[in-house]
Amino acid sequence: MGLTFRKLHPLFAAEVSAIDLRHVADRATLDEIRAGMDEYAVLVFRDQPFADDEQLQFATRFDGNLHTKTGASVLSKSRFGNEALTDISNLDEGGGLLKTDDRRRMYGLGNRLWHTDASFQDPPGRYSMLSAKVVPPVAADTEFADLRAAYDGLEAATRETLEGLHAHHSIAYSRQVLGFEFSPQELEQLKGAVHPLVRSNPRSGRRSLYLASHASRIIDWPVPEGRLLLRELMDHAILPQFVYRHSWRVGDLVIWDNLATMHRGRSFDDAKYRRELRRVTTLDIAASPA
C-alpha cells in the first residue's frame, strides 16, 4: 500500500500517511504496519473514525489475540460489556464525569505512573491501540519512553548485570504505591506475573528494558536491592531524550509496542473536562496470525 512514516521524535514515534484502518485487511499492508511498529514503536494514525466493534476487529486482524484480563475488570464490569475494550475515560456509566472520590477514578489515576500495559499478566500485552473520542480543550497528553534507546544508553556493566534477571509485575503493587486499597478477594485475582527484565524484538533482535511501575521486585534478589535497581532503571528510562509527548486530536489512533516502550497519562483537570478514549490491547503470544 506504500505507507510513509514521518518521524515525530529523533529516536522513535512516527505519524503514518493517510489510510482508513477500518478497511485494511490485506496481509501486505498489515505487515507494513508491523514493520513500522518494529522501527518506530509508536505509530500515530490521524482521522480514524472507529466504532467500537471496528476497533476490536482491526486489532484482531492486525495481531490476533486480545487482552481481556484487565485490572479494572476485577473492580467493576466494563460499561461497554466487553472486557477487550478498555475504557480510558473519566466518565461513569451514565456518561457523567466520575466523582473525585469514585473508586474507578482513583484506580484510573494509576495510568499517570509510567507503565506498560498488562505486564502484570502472562502473556502480557503486545500492541495497545488507543482511539481518541473526546479530548479536553486543555493539554491531556500521553507520554511515551523508548525502552530500546534506554537499554542502548546503559553502561556496559549495567547491561551485564541485567542478563538473565526477571521482575515480578503486579498492578496491585503500582496502585498500592499510590495508597489505593484492595479487598482480599481482589488481591487474590491480581497476583501478577514474572517477566525478563530485558526482552528482544523477535524480528529485529533489538533489545529493550522491560519496565513498568507494576514491577515490584527482582526475582531471587533481596527486595530492597531489587527495588533500588528497578528505580534506577526507571529514572534512566524516562530521561527527557527518551520521551515523546503526544497531544491528542479527536480521531487519533495511536498504536504502541508495550515491549519497546513505557507510557503515562499526564494530569489535567478531570473534574472539569471530559476525556474519552478506548483501548484494545493484543497479547504477546509468539505466533502471529498468518
CA-to-CA distance for 268 and 24, rounded, in angstroms?
34
Minimum distance of ligand OGA from residue 147's CB (angstroms): 15
CA-to-CA distance for 52 and 84, rounded, in angstroms?
10
Which residue's beta carbon is nearest to the bound ligand OGA?
Answer: 265
Minimum distance of Mn ion from residue 110's CB (angstroms): 9
Cβ proximity to Mn ion, 57 vs 111, nearer residue = 111
Number of Cβ atoms within 10 Å of the Cβ of 110: 21
Q: Give the per-residue contact string, 135-154, with ligand OGA (x = CB under 6 A; - = no).
A: -------x------------
Residue 265, contacted partner among Mn ion, ligand OGA, none, CB below 5-8 A by kind: ligand OGA
Q: Give the per-residue contact string, 155-174, with ligand OGA (x = CB under 6 A; - = no).
A: --------------------
CA-to-CA distance for 256 and 131, rounded, in angstroms?
12
Q: Give the per-residue contact string, 91-130, with Mn ion (x = CB under 5 A; - = no).
A: --------------------------x-------------
Cβ proximity to ligand OGA, 118 vs 218, nearer residue = 118
CA-to-CA distance for 88 and 90, rounded, in angstroms?
7
Number of Cβ atoms within 10 Å of the Cβ of 139: 12
Helix (H, G, I), strand (E, B) or coil at 237: helix
Site residues for ligand OGA, 108-127, by CB under 6 A, read 111, 117
Residue 130, contacted partner among ligand OGA, Mn ion, none, CB below 5-8 A by kind: ligand OGA
Number of Cβ atoms within 10 Å of the Cβ of 231: 11
CA-to-CA distance for 45 and 127, rounded, in angstroms?
14
Which residue's beta carbon is nearest to the bound Mn ion?
Answer: 117
Judged by CB under 6 A, the residue of 8, 16, 30, 130 near ligand OGA is: 130
Site residues for ligand OGA, 266-285, by CB under 6 A, read 277, 279
Enumerate helices (H) and strands (E) in the chain, giving the number of each: 9, 15
CA-to-CA distance for 19 and 147, rounded, in angstroms?
28
Helices (H), 24-170: 27-40, 52-63, 72-75, 103-108, 147-152, 156-162
Q: Which residues pair with 283 in a beta bridge?
A: 125
Cβ proximity to Mn ion, 16 vs 88, nearer residue = 88
Site residues for ligand OGA, 45-104, by CB under 6 A, read 88
Identity of the amino acid at 245? R
Cβ proximity to ligand OGA, 88 vs 243, nearer residue = 88
Summarize as ranges the residues that interact with Mn ion (CB under 5 A): 117
- Name the residues that contact ligand OGA, by CB under 6 A: 88, 111, 117, 128, 130, 142, 263, 265, 277, 279
